[in-house]
Homo-oligomer: A and B are copies of this chain.
Amino acid sequence: MNDQSEQWRYHHGDLRAALLDAAERSVRAHGAAQLSLRDLAREVGVSHAAPRRHFADRQELLDALAEAGFTRLGESIRRAVEQTGEGFAARTRHAVSAFAHFATENPALLELMNSTKHQGAPSTARAAEAAFEPIVELIREGQTQNVLEAGEPEELGLILYATVNGITMLVSTNMVPAERLDELTDTAVRQFLRGAAGEAHSQAR
């Protein structure tokens, strides 16, 4: 009993966090499809029925994992925007780069986040919205500076988000080698800024 104390302290009162931690490693290593609740329980040192107290079923755990993923993604994007002060184009490039590298460094997690299944999980949907927020704010900034055309900032934000997400998928599915990630996102951002340019800039050409 004494030599198990470390394991006990780890999940005592925090089995939920311990399970999420083990689940994240499992998803990273083998993908969400291979994740086994019984495996996680074993790894954490608890009976196979214990997770039930914290997650009603397998999907609920996957939803929680996706939610955490969106939260981290949003933080990563927000950090990138805040730490860049050299003008709108550079801020956009850094935000996109943060997104793209987070996605390609966590391909299985992003597959889970992009999965159809967590449609019904409201907290996951909220986390996804929150991750998207810094991008909308960035677009708004570009519109204020008249670098981007006027209009609904959400629309432009969605297109930028979709483009970057799509590019990372090309890499994660091996349709494109990882070495081309930066080249593709740079071209995409450059064209986005041109295609959505405000009057002042598109006339200055």
Is A205 engaged at the interface, CB distance under 8 Å to the other chain? yes
Is A167 engaged at the interface, CB distance under 8 Å to the other chain? yes
Say whether A33 contacts B117, CB under 8 Å.
yes
* B residues near A194, Cβ cutoff 8 Å: 194-197, 202
Say whether A128 contacts B175, CB under 8 Å.
yes
Is A7 engaged at the interface, CB distance under 8 Å to the other chain? no
Interface residues of A in 163-181 (CB under 8 A from B): 163-167, 169-170, 172-176
State in angstroms the CA–CA spacing of A55 and B192 once bound together: 44
Say whether A162 contacts B159, CB under 8 Å.
no
* B residues near A164, Cβ cutoff 8 Å: 166
How many copies of this chain? 2
Binding site secondary structure of chain A? helix
* B residues near A158, Cβ cutoff 8 Å: 167, 170, 176, 184
State in angstroms the CA–CA spacing of A175 and B173 once bound together: 22
Interface residues of A in 70-104 (CB under 8 A from B): none
Is A4 engaged at the interface, CB distance under 8 Å to the other chain? no
With A33-B33, A33-B117, A116-B111 known as contacts, the answer to whether A169 contacts B159 (CB < 8 A) is no
Is A125 engaged at the interface, CB distance under 8 Å to the other chain? yes
Nearest CB of B to A169, in Å: 6
Chain A, residues 188-204, CB within 8 Å of chain B (1/0): the string is: 10111111110000110
Nearest CB of B to A102, in Å: 15
Q: Please give 10 more A-B residue pairs, beta carbons under 8 A apart, in addition to A118-B173, A162-B169.
A: A33-B117, A108-B116, A116-B172, A116-B173, A158-B176, A159-B184, A161-B166, A191-B191, A191-B192, A191-B196
